[in-house]
Amino acid sequence: METALAQTKTKMWTGGKSPFNVSYGKLMMWYFLMSDSFTFGAFLISYGSIRFSLNHWVDHNYVFNKFPFTEANLPLAFVSLMTFILIFSSVTMVLAVHQGHKMSQKGVEKWLILTILGGLAFLGCQAWEWTHLITHQHDVLVDGVLQHWGTTVSHNPWGPEVMFNGQLVATPGPVAFGGYFFGITGFHGFHVFTGVVINSIMLVKTKLGTFQKRGHYEMIEKAGLYWHFVDLVWVFVFLCFYLI
Amino acid sequence: MNNEEVLHEQPLVVHDLGHSAHEHHHKQSFITKYIFSQDHKMVSKQFLITGIIWAVIGGLFSVIFRLQLGYPDQTFPFLEDILGRWAKGGRLDTEFYYALVTMHGTILVFFVLTAGLSGTFANFLIPLQIGARDMAAPFLNMLSYWFFFAASVLMFSSLFLQTGPASGGWTIYPPLSALRDAMDGSKTGMDMWLASMALFIVSQLLAGLNYITTVLNLRTKGMYMTRMPLTIWGLFFTAVLGVLSFPVLLSAVILLLFDRHLGTSFYLSDIVIQGKILPNEGGSPILFQHLFWFLGHPEVYIIALPAMGIASEVISTNSRKPIFGYMAMVGSFFAIAILSFMVWAHHMFVTGMNPFLGSFFVLLTLLIAVPSAIKVFNWLTTLWKGNIHFTPAMLFAIGFVSLFISGGLTGIWLGNSTLDLHLHDTYFVIAHFHLVMGVASMFGMFAGIYHWFPKMFGRLMNNTLAYIHFWVTIVGAYLIFWPMHYEGLAGMPRRYYDYSNWESFKMFGGLNEFISVVAAIVFFTQFLFIFNFFYSIFKGRKLTEKNKNPWKSNTLEWTTPIHPGHGNWVGEIPEVHRWPYDYGKDGRDFIPQTEPIGADESSHAGQ
Ligand code: HEM
Ligand SMILES: [Cu+2]
């Protein structure tokens, strides 16, 4: 028994077949995701190193407290919705892959469409959030004069507050906030965008029956790996920018 | 997916297997055969020839700036003829001097010794030596060349900009590289450098992913990982390093582009430029150095490992002896790959780093000398008492070992932070990395070209020209770089335009002149090689069916036809029964990997 086990184990590596029993395409996707995680890792570590070298950062509960169509103070509500949408689209992706295993063309189509819609909804939310941050102006005390700033890559109206004419007003905060926030969420958004494009291509190919003819839906699995990765990265981005 | 399916999008249908799809050559147009080819052998040649062109350009640049360094008080009117306003009155423009140095480094490090070296040999050798029809994804493989080509076109065009190409050094440290107003070289040239490098990174990722999956998934039957030639191990770890380190350079490049164009302050803080205070604050230029060297150090091993693999293979074959310590070689590749991610800050000892933190990097840096030394020991032991055939490839492989030792020893000096405080940014560092990386890996590349040329083109290169090429190059390399150690020890800084104004460095005037003369001689000697290469492609002595394995080598590539078609083997891919280093065994000169183990054969280390 033991020797038999050992034998099958060594047989995996004897050549003539894939040692991990996966196709080259999936293997490649896995390695790609590994390398992509180094890109994100480099961004997030840079962000961390700069942020913790500064005395002051921003208070998320004030910066991210708006929701469309209401003026109410709802800290982190909108981003929670975005996160929910993205995670939900991962669930629909799982179901699409599942239908692929069952060789159900209609099933794949249905869940793929929902995944694409989820991705688009996330991008839409992000667009709204960015627009809100950039265009919504706040009073900032700069060199003794009150100015009105949006939150951009070079302006941060969320600095420490001081008394001015008997009123509490903010001073300029570290510009690194805008740079990293827009830079990293933008880079992530770009990934979501490419994911949507990939999924749309998969949808077209499914509709054309390409995979049905090929006899397997592995391409959907590969697209799924990418999609889940983009989701996973969001969890880290969410953690680093909205929670900590 | 198995090997046969690589060439065919659809799984092969049964009736197709009978007359195997690879016997008949598909009718191919010129375009699909030579330009947009998906055959790994053609992609490899494309990388090689592009690399050669870049090497001539990059080498020429060094000759031009060496003219300035060797003859700071003279003018060369012919320079004005070729360079125009970059050399008014026959003297190099100071800004252009920096542009030349920067482009020399960028071109040689990335375009020649990364793309040219592993692009050529990974593409050529991986499928042939592991017994595969082609790369796992031939289309992505073709794309990897074309991304490299696009990067090349962009970088090349930047040479012709009004404001000149990037000129902040190959390491493009901000703030110099981040501010358009800092100098001409930080204007459009810098943007093109960054864009070109982004394309280059894409090319490297596509290539690396392909190499890794091919090695893991497409080995022929019997090709255990431990039966792979060391070339493949070297190229495999190179690909792993590339896939994990280039993305970090991508991050660094993206942040730098943002700083340049979107007004962010990732790397910028408290800067006054031309009397104007910039609004940027809170960024850190040191952050860029961390990101850059996290790629940069693995990058130097990306350049070294393929050369090490080639040298191992060539030395064993031409000593007619098994490689000494095969598993130790694999293990040291592995150790180098891991350690090379943990030593990057040895390039940053003088950035004001906490000396306590520095001491960890000293320790890890010195640790990496251990696997390097193991490799050197194994090469020397393989040579020891060998029946050495001094083919041109063998000479270059031995030259590689010699240069690697010379340059590696000075690495140990630099790895000690206390010594590095004095030696950093001096000619000592220039001497170190040119010997250990620049020239050594060039030698690895030459060894590879001379060795596999017959397989690439079905013809032999001229030996006499090759011997002259070798001896002039190795003697020249030592004459150029050895004296630089003394200059560096005396404190002579790198990257200066003119040393003759400095009381301390005046005494090196003659030496600098000497170095420049040798550099020019060595540069022009390379044309012997280039002539030999292109002449032999068309006119070299042809391989015959009897002599189709000219170096009597064990590895699989020599079992293919003299001119292998797309798919490499006619009929089935051969099965492998042994490691590739059965030379001089049981009274036989060599035993190819395809030969089954005989009943009364003695066992050997690699089984
Ligand atoms: C024995 C192992 C080695 C050690 C301990 C070592 C150590 C070092 C150190 C400490 C530096 C920084 C010097 C300074 O800037 O002050 C350095 C520079 C450098 N080393 Fe090594 N090194 C070793 C092997 C190698 C190898 C094998 C390569 C390439 C194949 C290499 C390529 C380079 C390059 C390119 C630089 C300079 C980069 C620049 O500043 O432009 N080194 N080395
Ligand atoms: Cu290093």
- Which residues of chain B are within 8 Å of residue A175 when distances are taken between CB atoms? 264-265, 279-282
What percent of chain A shows pLDDT beyond 70? 96
Domain of B148, CATH number, reads 1.20.210.10
Cβ atoms of residues B563 and B555 within 8 Å: no
Ligand with an atom nearest the CA of residue B350 = 1
Strand pairing partners for B541?
Answer: B460
Q: What is the mean pLDDT of residues B517-524?
A: 97
Is B414's C-beta closer than 6 angstroms to any atom of ligand 1? yes
B301-310: pLDDT as tens digits: 999 999 999 9
Answer whether B219 sits within 8 Å of A176, measured CB to CB.
Answer: no
Q: What residues pair up with A142 in beta bridges, in sequence order?
A: A145
Pairing of β A167-170 and β B459-460: unpaired
Cβ density class B343-370: b for 16+ within 10 Å, e for less: bbbbbbbeeeeeeeebeebbebbeebbe
Token code pair at residue B513: 């002149």
Structure tokens at B285: 């230029």
State pLDDT tens for residues B482-515. 999 999 999 999 999 999 989 999 999 999 999 9
Buried b (16+ CB within 10 A) or exposed e, A122-148: bbebbeebbebbeeeebebbeeeeeee
- Which residue in the set A15, A54, A153 is minimally distant from B223, CB to CB? A15
In a domain, B147, yes or no: yes
Range of the domain at B207: 36-228
Q: Which two tokens stand for residue B207?
A: 């290539």
Best of B108, B432, B442, B495 for a ligand 1 pocket test (most atoms within 8 Å of beta carbon):
B432
Expressed in angstroms and rounded, the spacing between residue B527 Cα and the centre of ligand 1 is 29
Q: Residue B278 phi/psi, 5° resolution?
A: -85, 150
- Partner residue opposite B247 with nearest CB, options A14, A15, A35: A35
Domain A47-136+180-243, what fold?
Answer: Four Helix Bundle (Hemerythrin (Met), subunit A) (1.20.120)
Instruction: Say how many CB pairs under 8 Å bridge A and B.
Output: 133
**Which residues does chain B have within 8 Å of residue A176's beta carbon, measured at their own beta carbons?**
265-266, 282-283
For the Cβ of B433 lying below 6 angstroms from any atom of ligand 1, the answer is yes
The answer to whether B222 contacts A14, with C-beta atoms less than 8 Å apart, is yes
* Predicted local distance difference test score (pLDDT) of residue B12: 37
- Counting the structural domains of chain B, the total is 1
Residues 185-224 of chain B whose Cβ lies under 8 A from any Cβ of chain A? 205, 208-210, 212-214, 216-224
Residue nearest to ligand 1 atom 6, measured at CA: B411
pLDDT, one tens digit per residue, over B308-336 is 999 999 999 999 999 999 999 999 999 99
Query: Using CA atoms, how far apart are residues B490 and B484, in angstroms rounded to an integer?
Result: 10
CB contact under 8 A, B209 and A35: yes
| Distance in Å, CA A214 to ligand 1 centroid | 51
Determine the pLDDT at residue B601: 80
B213–A179: do the CB atoms touch at under 8 Å?
no
Are B251 and A42 inside 8 Å of each other by CB?
yes
Distance, CA of B534 to CA of B56 (rounded, Å): 14
B280 CA distance to ligand 1 centroid (A)?
Answer: 33
Query: At residue B348, what are phi and psi to the nearest 5 degrees?
Result: -125, 20
| Domain-embedded: residue B161 | yes
Residue A175 and residue B282: Cβ atoms within 8 Å? yes
Q: What is the dihedral of CA B438, B440, B445, B448, to 10 degrees?
A: -170
> If DSSP codes are grouped into helix, strand and coil, which group holds residue A55?
coil
CA distance linking residue B581 with residue B440, whole number of Å: 24
Q: Which region holds residue B375: left if phi is over 0, alpha if psi is between -120 and 50, else beta?
A: alpha
Q: What's the CA gap between B286 and B266, in Å, rounded?
A: 10
CA dihedral B170, B175, B177, B182 (to 10 degrees): -130
**How many angstroms separate the CA atoms of B364 and B417, rounded?**
12
Q: Please indicate whether residue B408, judged by its CB atom, sits closer than 6 Å to ligand 1.
A: yes
E strand map for B304-352: none
Find out whether the peptide bond into A19 is cis, omega within 30 degrees of 0.
Answer: no
Q: What are the C-alpha distances in Å from B446 to residues B378, B393, B471?
A: 21, 7, 13
| Closest to A34 in 3D by CA, of B208, B145, B301, B119 | B208
Name the percent of chain B in helix, strand, coil, to the closest 5.
65, 5, 30
Long-range Cβ contacts of B313-316 (<8 Å, 24+ apart): B313/B229, B313/B230, B313/B231, B313/B451, B313/B555, B313/B580, B314/B393, B314/B394, B314/B396, B314/B397, B314/B447, B314/B448, B314/B451, B315/B379, B315/B382, B315/B383, B315/B394, B315/B397, B315/B398, B315/B401, B316/B382, B316/B581, B316/B583
Q: Is B463 helix (H, G, I), strand (E, B) or coil?
A: helix
Domain ranges of chain A: 47-136+180-243
Q: What is the pLDDT of residues B403-457, one digit of tens each?
A: 999 999 999 999 999 999 999 999 999 999 999 999 999 999 999 999 999 999 9
What's the gap in Å between the CA of A7 and the closest CA on chain B? 13
Which of B133, B265, B291, B330 is the best substitution to test chain A (most A C-beta atoms within 10 A)? B265
| Residue ID of nearest Cα to ligand 1 atom 21 | B411
Q: In the beta sheet, which residues pair with residue A67?
A: A70
Phi and psi for B582 in degrees, rounded to 5?
Answer: -80, 75
CA–CA gap between residue B458 and residue B273 (Å, rounded): 60
Mark residue B498 as left, alpha or beta (left: phi above 0; alpha: psi -120 to 50; beta: remaining): beta
Measure CB to CB from residue B136 to each of A24, A41, A46 and give the nearest one: A24
Across the interface, which of B212, B218, B248 has its CB nearest the CB of A39? B248
Q: Is the CB of B434 under 6 A from ligand 1?
A: no
- Does the C-beta of B104 come closer than 6 Å to ligand 1? no
CA gap B210, B23 in Å, rounded: 25
Chain B residue with minimal CA distance to A34? B244
Q: What pLDDT score does B27 carry?
A: 62
Is there a contact between B266 and A53 if contact means CB atoms under 8 Å apart?
no
Tokens of residue B455, six digits: 């397989």
Q: What is the mean pLDDT of residues B564-592?
A: 91
Mapped onto helix, strand or coil, the DSSP state of residue B493 is strand
Strand (E) or helix (H) holding B513:
helix B509-539
Q: What is the pLDDT along chain A (244 residues), one digit of tens a residue?
A: 344 444 555 578 888 788 888 888 899 999 999 999 999 999 999 999 998 888 888 888 888 888 888 887 888 889 999 999 999 999 999 999 999 999 999 999 999 999 999 999 999 999 999 999 999 888 999 888 889 999 998 889 998 888 888 888 899 988 889 999 999 999 999 999 999 999 999 999 999 999 999 999 999 999 999 999 999 999 999 999 988 8
Mean pLDDT for chain B?
A: 91
The rounded distance, in Å, linking the Cα atoms of B498 and B495 is: 9
Name the burial class of residue B546, with classes exposed (0-12), middle (13-18) and buried (19+) by CB atoms within 10 angstroms of its CB.
exposed
Q: CA-CA distance, B541 to B544, in Å (whole number)?
A: 9
Which one of B246, B282, B575 has the shortest CB-CB distance to A176?
B282
Nearest CA to ligand 1 atom 14: B424
Contact at CB, B243 and A154, closer than 8 angstroms: no
CA-wise closest residue to B361 among B372, B351, B349, B373: B349
Alpha carbon nearest to ligand 1 atom 30, residue: B437
Ligand 2 centre and the CA of A176: distance in Å? 29
Q: Is residue B150 in a domain?
A: yes
Mutate to test the pocket of ligand 1, among B433, B434, B489, B495 (most ligand atoms within 8 A of CB): B433
Determine if the pTM surpasses 0.80: yes
Which of B118, B300, B340, B443 is the best mutation target for the ligand 1 pocket, counting ligand atoms within 8 Å of the beta carbon and taking the most?
B300
Give me the amino acid identity at B309: G
In the block, tokens 């031939």 appear at B138
Q: Which two tokens stand for residue B472?
A: 């002039």
